[in-house]
Amino acid sequence: MKGSALTDNIKKEMNILERTITLLSIIEREGPVGIVKLGEITGLPEYKVRYSLRMLQKEGLIEPTPLGAKTTEKHDNFKAHLNELLNRLSEMSIKLQMQMKN
């Protein structure tokens, strides 16, 4: 099916979020870890890893060290916030699916 302006941005942003959360989880588990290693683990090109790491650092969720990125104390609060947001999105998704059936 051809994309739609109504859904393409959501799909793009969800893909970026998924990639970024995957990297954050790896950093939490393996950290400190560098760009090359993250690319090897995920199979992502380094430019996508770099972009996501910049986003995570801007949010204060990771910080650079000589050995690679590591999570910060803000990480746990973010995980709770993200979980709440994903629950809300799930509820919205169900509501939209119900509306489409009518």
Q: Is residue 98 part of a domain?
A: no
CA distance 71 to 74: 8
Q: Is residue 54 part of a domain?
A: yes
Residues 59-69: tens digit of each pLDDT: 999 999 999 99
Query: What is the pLDDT confidence band of residue 1, given thresholds at 50, 70 and 90?
Result: low
Q: Is residue 52 part of a domain?
A: yes
Q: Is residue 77 part of a domain?
A: no
pTM: 0.84
CA distance 67 to 43: 20
Which residues span the domain enclosing 67? 5-72
Q: Which helix (H) or strand (E) holds 2?
A: none
Q: Is residue 78 part of a domain?
A: no
> Average pLDDT for residues 18-43, to the nearest whole number?
94
Answer positive or negative: Cα dihedral of 44, 46, 47, 49. positive
Q: What are phi and psi of 67, to 5 degrees?
A: -95, -5
Query: What is the pLDDT confidence band of residue 93, given thresholds at 50, 70 and 90?
Result: very high
Q: How many domains does the chain have?
A: 1
CATH number at residue 53: 1.10.10.10
